[in-house]
Amino acid sequence: MKKKLVIAIYLFITIFILDQVVKYGFANLAWDVDGPYMSLKLAYNYGVAFSMFSFLEHNLKYIQLLIIVIATIYLLKNKDVFDEYYLSIALLYAGGLSNILDRFTYGGVVDYFYWHYGFEFAIFNIADVIINMAVALIIYKQIKQIREEKKQKNIKS
């Protein structure tokens, strides 16, 4: 458990700092670049995915912090969940807290990846990709666990 916690903390710190450095560059150093397929262009998201809940703009950061606090309390009471999903949890916390910090620092989440070849896609950032990777890892582990349980059940039958 302790080794997993140390790994999770290092992973969290690394991703969080990397994401904040890149966002600082776009927000303060004009790192915008136009490309034929994808551009790097500063945009602020005042909602969540695809700007949903942007009407909660000023309160959203507090709602998200409350969710983080509740999740942390849950993990403290259910250490086995952390033990099983520590990598995904580190990724979720890094991406989520980085985006929440943006709301306090810049007033909205700093986004910059803009796909525009063939169709226009929502503008997103590294933290968004990290959060999606964490969710994919959780789903993968869940599917793997269900298959293993079915296999064990068939062996016993």
* pLDDT tens, residue by residue, 91-141: 999 999 999 999 999 999 999 999 999 888 889 999 999 999 999 999 999
* Residue-number span of the structural domain to which 39 is assigned: 2-156
What pairs with residue 109 in β-bridges?
Answer: 45
How confident is the model over 3-47, as pLDDT tens digits?
Answer: 999 999 999 999 999 999 999 999 999 999 999 999 999 999 998
Reported for 141-147, long-range contacts at CB under 8 A and 24+ positions apart, including other chains, are 141/84, 141/85, 141/88
Q: What Rg value do the Cα atoms of the chain yield, rounded?
A: 18
Residue of 19, 32, 34, 128 marked catalytic: 128
19 is catalytic: no
Based on the structure, what is the number of domains in the chain? 1
Rounded Cα distance between 97 and 90, Å, is: 10
Residue of 19, 32, 83, 111 marked catalytic: 111
**This model's pTM is above 0.95:** no
128 is catalytic: yes
